[in-house]
Amino acid sequence: MRAVPKRRLSSFVVEQRFCKSCEICVALCPKKLLAMENKRPVISDPGECTLCRICEIHCPDLAIELEESADE
């Protein structure tokens, strides 16, 4: 059986100019990885991110952009 490469979060970027600090991303993250710092969300443990993209999809300001890469 071939191993499936694990996808991982390679970057979590918040466009500071767009974010209006509504905290929806913080509330919706299923793994509670986000918290507000200086009115902007930051991710505590990127390795735990499952790339569900719920934060990205539900950011009303389109401020969040995730990039993923596959482990070799």
Residue of 27, 35, 42, 51 interacting with other proteins (CB under 8 A):
27
Among 26, 29, 23, residue whose Cα is nearest residue 51: 29
Q: Tell me how far, at minimum, the Cβ of 15 lies from other proteins, in Å.
A: 8
- Under the binding rule (CB under 8 A), the answer on residue 61 touching other proteins is yes
Beta carbons of 35 and 42 less than 8 angstroms apart? yes
- Rounded to a whole number of angstroms, the minimum distance from the CB of residue 31 to other proteins is 17
Question: Which candidate, 37, 44, 45, 1, places its Cα nearest to that of 19?
Answer: 37
Q: Is 44 in the site for other proteins (CB under 8 A)?
A: no
